[in-house]
Structure 1
Amino acid sequence: MATKLFQGVKEFKKEDFESHKKLFNELKKGQNPHTFFVGCSDSRVVPNVITKALPGELFVVRNIANVIPPYQASEEAAYKCTASALEYAVEYLEVRNIVICGHSNCGGLKALFYDEKKLNKLPIVKKWLSLLDDVKKSVEHIEDTAFREWEIEHLNILKQIDNLTTYPFVEKRYKQGKLNILGWYYIIETGEVYNYNFKKEEFEPIV
């Protein structure tokens, strides 16, 4: 399988790099991304493919279930990785957009409903997923597993948007009109992306 990776690197250099050689030469001076993209680590969800963004346009964080941990002021606060990327994107890079992108068939959200024995084999994942306890509770009453999956995938996007606004530097730039916050839902099998309409309080297809 490693052979495929090496071959991919060769093809990238020969084809993709050469076709964007001028762009890469400009990027050596630094980056100026317009968007901070928070997506799931799922291998089927690739931000640059979904958005057709070129190198230098997206500053990306991917983690299990596209989570933004709520703000913690303490220097000893946990979950520093995602929080530090968010701070860097907003405060230093001054991105104009933040996208929280969830997706269909999310394994991370499915794991919330694993039995305790199975979850205990993944202690680090279990700790991370504890950030979603309230999202889980909001759908536990739903017996239809397919509908429950659909609901939690959408609700989780809205929860992470709420978490975003707990960061003072995000809230400040958002209120100043310098930052757009977008909630997206990507359906793997159809390629459709739905954007959350805050006024209508519903997800609408991007067409």
Structure 2
Amino acid sequence: MRKLIMGIVEFREKMLPRYAEQFGKLALAQTPDALFITCSDSRVVPDLLASTHPGDLFTMRNVGNLIPPATAEGVSTGDLSEAGAIEYAVLILKVANIVVCGHSECGAMKAVFARNPKLKAPNLDKWLCHANIAAFRLEHEGPLDDRLKPHDQLSQLNVLVQIEHLMTYPIVRQQVTAGALVLSGWWFDIATGDMYAYERASRSFEVIDRALAERLAARLASRAR
């Protein structure tokens, strides 16, 4: 906690002068380009990994980067917090992109894979049920990359399942169909620091190096025309 407190002081004394003007503008409004959905894991730091600044990302974090699917009426089957963030991002902020980002060595995915009934965490256990489809697919269809540890294989499949859950929300589906919203699946490898993007053509997560980044950017630009 001391590190956290002293970090606030360091920011106030050294960094805040650089951002003072930007914070002044952000106090009036925010116009983030993307809703970034990722895990609560302390090792995943979106602004650091994507070199973003205040106002760039509208971020939603929870255990396992999970999105409870919606009913046909658009009402969440789980916690309303996630559904509310999705609605706010799409309807109010009008983000053009939603990224679902999983990661390696995810404790939530380890718990889902282990299926440990002795955890004695009923709320967590109920929450993790939103990853059960990913576990089913891993068992019956196999991994995207069999070189990974089983829980990391599950983590990658879980990203794709959560994107499918996003598409159960009518407002998301409508915006995607209209070409106004793009859904992307990313996966962060903690050990190497590499970020991967799911590429449908290869049915795999590919490292976001400069070459892939330029292809992704060109693809987004062509959709925006």
Report the more deviating stretch, 82-91 or 9-18: 9-18
Contact 2:74 2:168 in 1 (8 A): no
1:200 and 2:199 are equivalent in the alignment = no
Contact 2:64 2:102 in 1 (8 A): yes
TM-score scaled by length of structure 1: 0.91
Structure 1: unaligned runs, 5 residues or longer = none
Q: After superposition, what is the alpha-carbon deviation per residue over 1:162-201, rounded to whole angstroms, capped at 9, x for unaligned?
A: 1111111111111111111110010011110111112332
Structure 2: unaligned runs, 5 residues or longer = 210-225
Return closer, same or farther for 1:71/1:7 CA change in 2, 3 Å cut-off: same
Instruction: Tell me the distance in 2 between the aligned counterparts of 1:145 and 1:126.
Output: 28
Aligned match of 2:21: 22
Q: SS in structure 1 opposite 2:78?
A: coil
Return closer, same or farther for 1:63/1:13 CA change in 2, 3 Å cut-off: same
Instruction: Tell me the distance in 1 between the aligned counterparts of 2:125 and 2:152.
Output: 21
Give the number of equivalent residue pairs.
203
TM-score scaled by length of structure 2: 0.84
1:100 and 2:104 are equivalent in the alignment = no
Q: SS in structure 2 opposite 1:200?
A: coil
- Per-residue deviation, 1:43: 0.4
- Per-residue deviation, 1:23: 0.7
Aligned positions of 1:1-207 closer than 5 A: 2-72=1-71, 73=73, 77-112=77-112, 113-118=114-119, 121-140=120-139, 147-207=149-209
Return closer, same or farther for 1:146/1:205 CA change in 2, 3 Å cut-off: closer
- Per-residue deviation, 1:147: 3.2
- Per-residue deviation, 1:114: 4.0
- Per-residue deviation, 1:4: 1.8
Q: SS in structure 1 opposite 2:187?
A: strand
Instruction: Tell me the distance in 2 between the aligned counterparts of 1:60 and 1:181.
Output: 14
Instruction: Give the residue type in structure 2 aligned to 1:109.
Output: M
Give the percent of matched residue pairs that are identical in Structure 1 and Structure 2: 38
What stretches of structure 1 move > 4 A for 4+ residues in a row?
74-77
Q: After superposition, what is the alpha-carbon deviation per residue over 1:145-165, rounded to whole angstroms, capped at 9, x for unaligned?
A: 963223211100100111111
- Per-residue deviation, 1:77: 4.6
Aligned match of 2:222: none
- Per-residue deviation, 1:76: 8.2
Instruction: Tell me the distance in 1 between the aligned counterparts of 2:177 and 2:89.
Output: 17
Report the more deviating stretch, 39-48 or 8-17: 8-17
